Structure 1
Amino acid sequence: MSQLVTLATCSLNQFALDFEGNARRILESIRQAKAAGASLRIGPELEITGYGCLDHFLEADTTTQAWEALAMILANPVCEDILIDIGMPVWHKNVLYNCRIISYNKEILLIRPKLHLANDGNYREMRYFTPWKGETIVEDFYLPPAIEKLTAGQRKCRIGDALIQTRDTCLGTETCEELFTPRSPGSGAGLDGCEIISNSSGSHHELRKLNTRVDLIRQETLRSGGIYLYSNQQGCDGDRLYYDGSAMIIVNGRIVAQGSQFSLSDVEVVTATVDLEDVRSYRSIKSRAMQASHQKAYERVEVELRLSNDSDDFDFDLKPSPEISAKFLLPEEEIAYGPACWLWDYLRRSNQAGFFLPLSGGIDSCATAILVHSMCRLVFKDAVEKKDPQVLKDLLRIAGEPATSSWRPKNPQEIATKIFHTAYLGMETNSSADTRSRAKELASDLGSYHLDLNIDTCYNAVVALFTTVTNFVPKYKMYGGTPATNLALQNIQARLRMVLSYLFAQLLPTVRGRNAKNPDNSNPGGLLVLGSANVDESLRGYLTKYDCSSADINPIGGISKTDLKRFILWSSTNFQLPILQSFIDAPPTAELEPITADYTQSDEADMSMSYAELSVYGTLRKTYKLGPYSMWSRLTHQWGDKLSPQQVYEKVRTFFWFYGINRHKMTTITPSYHAENYSPDDNRFDLRPFLYPGWDWAWKKVEGRLAAMGERATQIPQHAEDENKKSV
């Protein structure tokens, strides 16, 4: 006989230390879960405090206020008669744990600490938390006064790796990283008869990562059966990461519910009706039974509750949710929507009036502008078409409109006109008519408030000041200058653009009469300056320290040039912007040197390497953790069909030379949206030195190997030579 139960998971847009707002969103998710008939609701990791509190987790205020917020939540009538799983930090015997709090009708049933902490890449959980003592270990926990008062005398509960036993089934929990471990806790719990496993996560977006997440959940339930509820934070939690939601429910490897990956909604609840008997039938395999009979028993905390309907009160309208196909976006779509949602969260929570972007006419600033356009499209859809009250409220405030305003944009461009500002900061001798016209046309298509100006006056004033003080006239290399003077003159332009960008960003709202129009507006701030250096340029150091790469935030700072080009092509069709093809066709150039009849500056020529090669170097350096010698060894095989071992050596050595001398630039890199796992972000993700002595030991090893190869070291594959001759 069927035992149908409706379960709810959710994605919440929580904000670090926003206790009141976080509690409000938690309560709304519980309300929606109950409205859908759910008897169990789970939420994201550390949802009461927000995941990104970082060192604030070390403050006593954070955990004290978390207990106070929990008491306020559980006291709300909406929490009655539903099993609730909520995440927050907990001190136990003077040790801080990352915990799940499982409660029913105000009673705390179990505190389940995280067993395996995320402590690499973007995460430093062991800086704040300690892993729980071990599987199946359980102790008494003495509740704080706020909870004892709420529960009319409950003094203690159990804390540890235990299960919840209802009258009809058994539940267990995992937290985020535990899903990614070789032997996840849910496996042992499932062998001990746990039928429902929940996973509450703070898992960030990274290109192509959702596929891995879904595969892990499906494999866990395919092997041993079970119902798996996955909850995840969604949104920007005050840092570089965007948590990409995708709450889901999977039964015996079959997906029966999946939420959105990118959304402006603060609360998204996903529910499904599942049959407990499906799990029991799936688990009737004898090989599983043999392992289950040897599984160490978990302590069970009993609760007088049935998750399923009583057989005497059978609901003939209730039926199991059907299997659905997993929803995966193309990488181009992930780029279009992830950074766009991140930008909106950052803007609405920073209390600024919009964005300012130096629009150069090149592909990087173009991609950044398109991401703002994508954000405007999402805001228009939610605020105007879907009439989401929170998105509309935020839009009116950011746009400088009173809360009672009747203004409603007719299209995304009308939103951009109010909150997006662009400027072409050119030079008469160095900037081409093509880049200027491309920038102007793109700004027009997107609806941004656009300025077109030359900075020659400022540039000439700086050069004249230097010459007056030193009696030395710096020149470009084409006019007889040295590499040092050539670079210095380029850097003057780049840094002046940064200074001017911040000037315009601070005063343009005043120039446009915003504050005069609405003097009582609670958001009179300036504009956030957007950076547009991609991950490959940061890796190579192909940027000027404190130029336009030094912005407030950078939505493309963790995205490769290759993926950005694919995103631009996708946007050309899907956003109906034919102008974008001209950005793809144009060769990348910084336009910092004079343009002559026979010379135009080229990015790849200046870098002495291609963007495609940079992606390879970055992946091998960070993802595969290869040093100079190992990288050369790997690439002699990977590129052996087109390059000789000697040529590979020269390329690898060139990369590491520029990487080493420019690493210091990463100490000032703009906070960038994280999308690529070889990001060189020194502040959060890539903890390497910024001063290097060189790699002499490695180079001597490579040179020894090349010498031992003899003539083979310089031999290029014959077909590669033929191709080179054809191209010539």
Structure 2
Amino acid sequence: MGRKVTLATCSLNQWALDFEGNLQRILESIRIAKEKGARYRLGPELEICGYGCSDHYFESDTILHSFQVLTKLLESPVTSDIICDVGMPVMHKNVRYNCRVIFLNKKILLIRPKMVMANAGNYRELRWFTPWNKSREIEEHFLPRTIQEITGQDTVPFGDAVLATKDTCLGSEICEELWAPNSPHIDMGLDGVEIFTNGSGSHHELRKAHLRVDLVRSTTTKNGGIYLLSNLRGCDSDRLYFDGCSMISINGDIVVQGSQFSLENVEVLTATLDLEDVRSYRAHTSSRCISASRVPPFHRVHVDFSLSSFDDVYTPTSEPIQWKYHTPAEEISLGPACWLWDYLRRSKQGGFLLPLSGGVDSSAVACIVYSMCRLVCQAVDAGNKEVLRDVRQLVGDDMYVPKMPQELCRRLLTTCYMATENSSKETRERAKTLSEQIGRYSIRT
């Protein structure tokens, strides 16, 4: 029949300027996506260089090394016969853009720049990037010669366009564009785009997962279609923690949920969905059809490739699921714990020193460190070899295997009681009791 598509999205723990490590995690996600039968793979925002590069975005080397990673991706046999959608910075006509680079079989199909910048609160994207302000317009982008030698292309389309495969049409959004009141997916959907993709760099904030899920659901409820969200995971080299939560939705239903707090560096989600479900859903709504009949068209980049197979009538499709949310208490315990683990393993320090007073602040920090140790033990028990390698490096023991959170906490957390003239016997006892319960190593004072 040729109407059922298998699509992949992923959460990656990318490090700022760790080009070799980022490359390996991207390749691993593509390999897993292909193993699961996917013909399209979406990655998170700026995954090649890492999101938290800060003013290193001003350096030309950051873009140069990003293209060097892209070269290796294009050359790798892992990326054959699957549409790969990666995030990286690109300089176009001497202007720096935050882009999606979409390629297939050593050919770049489209470079799609971000149109709405995140520039409030924790984000300062306008400091480093310029939004693409030419709606529904494309230009020719001249590729670096190293890329030209691989692809045989001198130029590729750059701008606000969509991809038309033999069986469907795909359109890209980038993070903040989903949150904007005039999101690109609105007009793309009216113009016949059936699959929306969003490579995101959305940090953890209490109850923010509810907002993401509501936005994705409402997008596909009003407009119909399939929506893939890919999000970063881990510490961004600064204050933020990206919490994953990648997902896939169709016609208002979530069909795949990614984990929100995990120590896995690579998580790949796939779903098999029926394009006919999108078409019948849309055609049933008269008001949408009237709006669609008068929307200005997007430029379509035609791709000689199909996301579906001819004989898929008996292929099962993914069923809707109920999203499972963490409680606020769980988020408070798990989010900072994941950040601490990433900070610790990246800095390669031997652990943490905490002055424990018996008050709320220091006690909360101690409990979060214990939560970190519990997550590490769970990951090791589940067979995560990367976490085990990092633990052994931190404690300086190549044979060490953490079994209990208290025992690991004793190796990674040192506490001391720092009293003042206002301290009481009760605060000392509370500090002592808590430190004993979590298994820390204590310096007597």
TM over 0.5: yes
Q: Is the 8 A contact 2:2 2:312 kept in 1?
A: no
Match for 1:366: what amino acid?
Answer: S
* Inter-partner Cα distance in structure 2 for 1:19 and 1:134: 31
3-state DSSP class of the match of 1:24?
Answer: helix
3-state DSSP class of the match of 2:134?
Answer: coil
Are residue 321 (structure 1) and residue 321 (structure 2) matched? no
Q: In the TM superposition, what is the alpha-carbon distance from 1:224 to its structure 2 partner? A: 1.1
Are residue 207 (structure 1) and residue 200 (structure 2) matched? no
- CA displacement 1:336-386 (0-9 Å, x = unmatched): 110000000000001100001001011111110000000000000102x11
Are residue 162 (structure 1) and residue 167 (structure 2) matched? no
Q: In the TM superposition, what is the alpha-carbon distance from 1:410 to its structure 2 partner? A: 2.3
Report the counterpart of residue 473 of structure 1 in structure 2.
none
Q: Is the 8 A contact 1:2 1:276 kept in 2?
A: no
Report the counterpart of residue 435 of structure 2 in structure 1.
443
Report the counterpart of residue 382 of structure 1 in structure 2.
379
3-state DSSP class of the match of 2:187?
Answer: helix
Match for 1:332: what amino acid?
Answer: A
Q: In the TM superposition, what is the alpha-carbon distance from 1:329 to its structure 2 partner? A: 1.1
Report the counterpart of residue 387 of structure 2 in structure 1.
391
Are residue 364 (structure 1) and residue 356 (structure 2) matched? no
3-state DSSP class of the match of 1:397?
Answer: helix
Match for 1:28: what amino acid?
Answer: E
Q: Is the 8 A contact 2:2 2:167 kept in 1?
A: no
Q: Is the 8 A contact 2:119 2:125 kept in 1?
A: yes
Q: In the TM superposition, what is the alpha-carbon distance from 1:441 to its structure 2 partner? A: 1.4
* Inter-partner Cα distance in structure 1 for 2:140 and 2:234: 35
3-state DSSP class of the match of 1:228?
Answer: strand
Q: In the TM superposition, what is the alpha-carbon distance from 1:430 to its structure 2 partner? A: 3.5
Are residue 416 (structure 1) and residue 412 (structure 2) matched? no
* Inter-partner Cα distance in structure 2 for 1:410 and 1:27: 32
After superposition, the CA RMSD in angstroms is 1.0
3-state DSSP class of the match of 1:425?
Answer: coil
Report the counterpart of residue 108 of structure 1 in structure 2.
108
* Inter-partner Cα distance in structure 2 for 1:270 and 1:370: 32
Report the counterpart of residue 565 of structure 1 in structure 2.
none
* Inter-partner Cα distance in structure 2 for 1:96 and 1:2: 40
Q: In the TM superposition, what is the alpha-carbon distance from 1:280 to its structure 2 partner? A: 0.2
Counterpart mapping for 1:613-692 below 5 A: none
Q: In the TM superposition, what is the alpha-carbon distance from 1:315 to its structure 2 partner? A: 6.3
Match for 1:214: what amino acid?
Answer: V
* Inter-partner Cα distance in structure 2 for 1:362 and 1:257: 42
Report the counterpart of residue 19 of structure 1 in structure 2.
19
Match for 1:324: what amino acid?
Answer: I
* Inter-partner Cα distance in structure 1 for 2:212 and 2:430: 40
3-state DSSP class of the match of 1:325?
Answer: coil
* Inter-partner Cα distance in structure 1 for 2:35 and 2:49: 25
Q: Which runs of 5+ in 1 are unaligned?
A: 454-728
Are residue 37 (structure 1) and residue 37 (structure 2) matched? yes
Report the counterpart of residue 333 of structure 2 in structure 1.
336
* Inter-partner Cα distance in structure 1 for 2:281 and 2:422: 70
3-state DSSP class of the match of 1:222?
Answer: helix
- CA displacement 1:644-699 (0-9 Å, x = unmatched): xxxxxxxxxxxxxxxxxxxxxxxxxxxxxxxxxxxxxxxxxxxxxxxxxxxxxxxx
- CA displacement 1:49-100 (0-9 Å, x = unmatched): 1011111111000001000011112211110000010000000000000000
- Give the structure-1-normalised TM-score: 0.60
* Inter-partner Cα distance in structure 2 for 1:410 and 1:199: 39
Counterpart mapping for 1:88-167 below 5 A: 88-151=88-151, 153-167=152-166
- CA displacement 1:27-68 (0-9 Å, x = unmatched): 010011011100100000000010111111110000010000
Q: Is the 8 A contact 2:255 2:271 kept in 1?
A: yes
Q: In the TM superposition, what is the alpha-carbon distance from 1:234 to its structure 2 partner? A: 0.6
* Inter-partner Cα distance in structure 2 for 1:62 and 1:7: 30
Q: Is the 8 A contact 1:4 1:276 kept in 2?
A: yes
Match for 2:54: what amino acid?
Answer: L
* Inter-partner Cα distance in structure 1 for 2:133 and 2:180: 17
* Inter-partner Cα distance in structure 1 for 2:313 and 2:193: 25
Q: Is the 8 A contact 1:113 1:160 kept in 2?
A: yes
Q: Is the 8 A contact 2:2 2:308 kept in 1?
A: no
Counterpart mapping for 1:453-464 below 5 A: 453=445
Q: Is the 8 A contact 1:109 1:158 kept in 2?
A: yes
Q: Is the 8 A contact 2:2 2:309 kept in 1?
A: no
Between Structure 1 and Structure 2, the one with more helix by share is 1
Match for 2:144: what amino acid?
Answer: P
* Inter-partner Cα distance in structure 2 for 1:298 and 1:387: 47
* Inter-partner Cα distance in structure 2 for 1:22 and 1:164: 26
Counterpart mapping for 1:52-71 below 5 A: 52-71=52-71
Q: Is the 8 A contact 2:140 2:158 kept in 1?
A: yes
3-state DSSP class of the match of 1:215?
Answer: helix
3-state DSSP class of the match of 1:283?
Answer: helix
Counterpart mapping for 1:521-600 below 5 A: none
Q: Which of 1 and 2 has greater Rg? A: 1
Q: Is the 8 A contact 2:226 2:248 kept in 1?
A: yes
Q: Is the 8 A contact 1:361 1:436 kept in 2?
A: yes
Greater relative contact order (CA < 8 Å, ≥ 6 in sequence): 2
Size of the alignment, in residue pairs?
444
Counterpart mapping for 1:677-716 below 5 A: none
* Inter-partner Cα distance in structure 2 for 1:315 and 1:76: 32
2:418 is aligned, of 396, 406, 425, to 425
- CA displacement 1:90-111 (0-9 Å, x = unmatched): 0000000000001001100000
- CA displacement 1:508-542 (0-9 Å, x = unmatched): xxxxxxxxxxxxxxxxxxxxxxxxxxxxxxxxxxx
Q: Is the 8 A contact 2:227 2:249 kept in 1?
A: yes
3-state DSSP class of the match of 2:418?
Answer: strand
Q: Is the 8 A contact 1:43 1:232 kept in 2?
A: yes
Q: Is the 8 A contact 1:425 1:452 kept in 2?
A: no
Report the counterpart of residue 400 of structure 1 in structure 2.
396
Report the counterpart of residue 215 of structure 2 in structure 1.
216
- CA displacement 1:263-303 (0-9 Å, x = unmatched): 11100111111100000000112211111111111111111
* Inter-partner Cα distance in structure 2 for 1:286 and 1:374: 52
3-state DSSP class of the match of 2:336?
Answer: helix
- CA displacement 1:314-341 (0-9 Å, x = unmatched): 363x211010011211111101110000
Between Structure 1 and Structure 2, the one with more strand by share is 2
* Inter-partner Cα distance in structure 2 for 1:391 and 1:410: 13
- CA displacement 1:143-197 (0-9 Å, x = unmatched): 111211222x211110000000100000000000000110100111111000000
Match for 2:334: what amino acid?
Answer: Y
Report the counterpart of residue 170 of structure 2 in structure 1.
171
* Inter-partner Cα distance in structure 1 for 2:111 and 2:98: 10
Report the counterpart of residue 266 of structure 2 in structure 1.
267
Report the counterpart of residue 348 of structure 2 in structure 1.
351
3-state DSSP class of the match of 2:30?
Answer: helix
Report the counterpart of residue 224 of structure 2 in structure 1.
225
Counterpart mapping for 1:288-327 below 5 A: 288-310=288-310, 313-314=311-312, 316=314, 318-327=315-324
Q: Is the 8 A contact 1:2 1:277 kept in 2?
A: no
* Inter-partner Cα distance in structure 1 for 2:55 and 2:278: 42
**Structure 1: 4+ residue segments shifted above 6 A:** none
